[in-house]
Chains A and B, each alone.
Chain A
Amino acid sequence: MNQKYQEIVKKNSPKENVLINAVVAFITGGIMGIIGQALIDGYTTWLDISTKEATVCMLVTLIFFTCLFTSLGFFDKFVNFCKCGLIIPITGFAHATMSAALEYRKEGLVTGIGMNMLKLSGAVIIFGVVSSFVFSLLRMVVGLI
């Protein structure tokens, strides 16, 4: 009975086309990379700042527009279509933060927005900090030898 059910589920669940998804992610992710490089070039020439500062400006710009588009409601559709093409760039981090903040805003400023804003993106910060601590410790030990 259970086995039969599994077979029916397998037959009727929609097949995700791995190839098309991969190509879409490749193209949209690549376009994000081009936008990033174009913003860096633009900031270094127009504002006359170093590449390092331009990188920070570029990231802040991307985060700002992601937050804006998420609040206006149409960034979710982009993410549903591009999937990893928008999740892996920094836009995914901003999108997770923004949508959590919007989702919980009804529960109040502190208990809603404050406690839940980093619910999804907190994993990135925590694992990033822990792993970078471990890796730099490793580098330190290797450097001492």
Chain B
Amino acid sequence: MIYLNAFLFAGFVCMIAQIILDKTKLTPGHITVIFVVLGAFLDIFNIYDQIILWAGGGALVPITSFGHNLTHGAIHGYNTEGVLGLFSGTLDLTAAGISAAIIFAFFMSLIFEPKD
């Protein structure tokens, strides 16, 4: 059942993004930023956690979960360390994704030639 939910939610998010991309003059960069901010916003009152419980991986794969993890880390940091935690906790949960992208991209760009 969770697979169906994952399919529906991830597909729905991508479809909305595609419609925005086609109907307006925004670039893919704008749309990714909009969805990150939306994900960060949905985490304020733990709405996104409910979505993750419902859709599982379908809610964790789209870029909205990136924003969700950023806010989640910042709030968790505030709860454990106080105001300083807002700064130290923000990148806690997303660090793996950012580091992985940078490390893989660096080494692979050394190995591979760009294809045209």
Contact = CB atoms under 8 A, between A and B. Distances in A.
Interface of A: 16, 18, 21-40, 55-56, 58-60, 62-64, 67-68, 71-73, 83-85, 87-90, 92-94, 97-98, 100-103, 105, 113, 117-118, 120-121, 123-125, 127-129, 131-133, 135-140
A40 B60 contact: yes
Main secondary structure on A side of the interface with B: helix
A125 B98 contact: yes
Nearest to B97: A59
Main secondary structure on B side of the interface with A: helix
Interface in B32-65: 32-33, 35-37, 40-41, 43-45, 55-63, 65
B18 A98 contact: no
Interface of B: 2-3, 6-15, 17-19, 21-23, 28-29, 31-33, 35-37, 40-41, 43-45, 55-63, 65-67, 70-71, 73-75, 78, 86, 90-91, 94, 96-98, 100-102, 104-106, 108-112, 114-115
Contacts of A55: 60
A30 B78 CA distance: 34
B67 A36 contact: no
10 contacts: A30-B6, A30-B10, A35-B61, A60-B97, A88-B32, A90-B66, A117-B102, A135-B41, A136-B44, A138-B44
A67 B7 contact: no
B62 A121 contact: no
Contacts of A93: 32, 63, 66, 97, 101
B40 A131 contact: yes
Contacts of A60: 96-97, 100
